[in-house]
Amino acid sequence: MQLRVRRAAASALLRPASSSTTCYECIRTAGLDVRIRQSRAAYHSSPRNSSAFSAAVSVAGHMVNNAISRATKGSSDLHVDPLRVVAKEMKFLTGNIRKLLGSGHPSLDRAAKYYTQAEGKHVRPLIVLLMSRATSLCPQAPQPRRTAAIDTPISPLSILSDVNPSSPPTSPPADTTTPQDILPSQRRLAEITELIHTASLLHDDVIDHSVSRRGAPSANLEFGNKMAVLAGDFLLGRASVALARLRDAEVVELLATVIANLVEGEFMQLRNTASDERNPVYTEETLTYYLQKTYLKTASLISKSCRAAALLGGTDEATVDAAYAYGKNLGLAFQLVDDMLDYTRSNKELGKPAGADLELGLATAPLLFAWKAMPELGALVGRKFAEEGDVELARDLVLQSDGIEQTRALAQDYAEQAIAAIAPFPDSEAKDGLIEMAVKTLKRNK
């Protein structure tokens, strides 16, 4: 019963309204192929040849089963290393980002580039580059998109008054022997995605009073809150300039709404429930509220940048929708695992303070699932674990419950849906890399 309710709450966020309801426990017992058929129907509404679609569903089922089997069994038999697939492009990522952030003001230049010094995971730009390469083999849109030089200003430089003392970003050496499957605009999109993510880290660390990030003192500790906030604002400004120079209105709209989503998600996180009651009672809407907040804060950037990558590559509508669905499901799975690790890993393993969510008064998925079975957690959620002993008690109750196991199961559901979304893509190393990203999301420990 708990599994069925959990899936129903999750599906409310991901699937369009329908006149008929579906029992997700029945779907699970009927096998993975049926679930793939249900989720694919939500992405594409065009008629299909039934035999061709059945074959595609069968292939997708085998692909998901094999990938998830590797994740759950901990097998090291990976088909492909995602980083190796786009190693040439990733090699220039950090250097290009630092060049985009050049400022004539020494203090701002140092603060803006601070989080680029430590070795980050760079998950988001890696996904963008893999999606760009994977979708280059997909059907093209009837009308090709216009391309332009990505470093050329739109307005006169004398009016922009934006002097960047750094040299122009570096591109990988041209390969004249093979077609260009990752466009300069897509590489720039990967850099923009990391800029937006890093700006959100600068702001989040001020809001959360963080003391460490990526194994080093956080920017707010190193420079003070004011400089950290201004550095984050500067990153968003430079990201916006780079985004505008892509000269694609739909891509600009997508990434601009990501920035708005990040702020909306942060506001939602100020409450643990929609009504923010003093003595809340768990309902199905509690998990739906959490998942919507999670989409805004984490999955929005991943999903919309995946969609933008497919758009810049000039692919057809079905491919663009599939790219978005992959990113949305992967983003939700990623954050669910992140919330789970907050209960199961140490500070050293995470590279940031463990157990921070409860200290900040946040009720994430492991606690929400525990709360459903342990109503006494409601009082603690209502006062945001503010009284002495609340954090320790809440943590103990979560560990006594099956909240972590249910969180892991829900993350696996989303990872499966991400893999199923790209099942129609032609076979390639990049597609395999995207599948491995979903697998690695479930297996990661920091």
The average pLDDT across 183-201 equals 97
* CA–CA distances in Å: residue 224 to residues 185, 199, 203, 233, 386: 35, 15, 12, 14, 26
The average pLDDT across 293-314 equals 97
* pLDDT (0 to 100) of residue 173: 56
How many other C-beta atoms lie within 10 A of the C-beta of residue 163? 9
CB 272 within 8 A of CB 363: yes
In this predicted model, what pLDDT tens digit does every residue of 423-446 receive, in sequence order? 999 999 999 999 999 999 999 887
The alpha carbon torsion through 325, 327, 332, 334 (nearest 10 deg) reads: 150
Alpha helix locations (H) across 104-223? Answer: 106-112, 123-135, 157-160, 184-207, 219-223
Q: Which tokens hold the place of 75? A: 């097998």
Query: Which domains are assigned to the chain?
Result: 2-81+127-149+169-183+208-215+241-443 (1.10.600.10)
Per the model's pLDDT, the better-predicted residue between 25 and 410 turns out to be 410
Tell me: pLDDT of 30 over 50: no
Q: Sorting pLDDT into bands at 50, 70 and 90, what band is 278?
A: confident
Range scoring the smallest mean pLDDT among 148-162, 235-249, 251-265, 311-325: 148-162
Per the model's pLDDT, the better-predicted residue between 352 and 331 turns out to be 331
For residue 136, give every residue at least 6 positions away whose Cβ sits within 8 Å of its Cβ, in sequence order, or none: 179, 181, 182, 313, 430
Tell me: pLDDT of 49 over 50: no
DSSP category for residue 20: S
* pLDDT (0 to 100) of residue 33: 38
* pLDDT (0 to 100) of residue 445: 82
Report how far residue 197's alpha carbon sits from residue 200's, in angstroms, rounded to the nearest whole number.
5
Per the model's pLDDT, the better-predicted residue between 285 and 445 turns out to be 285
Tell me: pLDDT of 41 over 60: no
CA angle centred on 442, ends 439 and 446, rounded to 5°: 120
Q: What's the pTM value of the predicted model, to 2 decimals?
A: 0.81
The average pLDDT across 101-112 equals 94
Tokens 């497919």 -> residue: 310
Q: Sorting pLDDT into bands at 50, 70 and 90, what band is 4?
A: very low
Per the model's pLDDT, the better-predicted residue between 172 and 322 turns out to be 322
Report how far residue 347's alpha carbon sits from residue 333's, in angstroms, rounded to the nearest whole number.
22
| Bridge partners, residue 315, by sequence | 140
* pLDDT (0 to 100) of residue 356: 86
Q: CA 176 from chain center: how many Å?
A: 33
* pLDDT (0 to 100) of residue 24: 33
Report how far residue 16's alpha carbon sits from residue 24's, in angstroms, rounded to the nearest whole number.
15
Report how far residue 39's alpha carbon sits from residue 326's, in angstroms, rounded to the nearest whole number.
11
345: exposed, middle or buried (Cβ count in 10 Å: 0-12, 13-18, 19+): middle
The average pLDDT across 138-153 equals 79
For residue 211, give every residue at least 6 positions away whose Cβ sits within 8 Å of its Cβ, in sequence order, or none: 217, 218, 221, 353
For residue 375, give every residue at least 6 positions away whose Cβ sits within 8 Å of its Cβ, in sequence order, or none: 281, 282
Per the model's pLDDT, the better-predicted residue between 46 and 366 turns out to be 366
Report how far residue 225's alpha carbon sits from residue 210's, in angstroms, rounded to the nearest whole number.
11
The average pLDDT across 41-47 equals 34
Q: Sorting pLDDT into bands at 50, 70 and 90, what band is 149?
A: confident
For residue 158, give every residue at least 6 positions away whose Cβ sits within 8 Å of its Cβ, in sequence order, or none: none
Residue 299, helix vs strand vs coil: helix
For the chain, helix (H) and strand (E) counts, in that order, are 24, 2
Q: What percent of the chain has pLDDT above 90?
A: 65
Range scoring the smallest mean pLDDT among 3-7, 13-17, 157-161: 13-17
Report how far residue 134's alpha carbon sits from residue 418's, in angstroms, rounded to the nearest whole number.
14
The mean of the pLDDT values for the chain is: 83
Range scoring the smallest mean pLDDT among 34-48, 228-242, 297-311, 321-335: 34-48
CB 64 within 8 A of CB 419: yes
358-382 burial: b if 16+ Cβ within 10 Å, else e: bebbbbbbbbbbbbbebeebbebbb
In this predicted model, what pLDDT tens digit does every residue of 50-101 receive, in sequence order? 444 444 445 555 556 665 555 445 444 546 899 999 999 999 999 999 999 9
Residue 326, helix vs strand vs coil: helix
In this predicted model, what pLDDT tens digit does every residue of 369-406 receive, in sequence order? 999 999 999 999 999 999 999 999 999 999 999 999 99
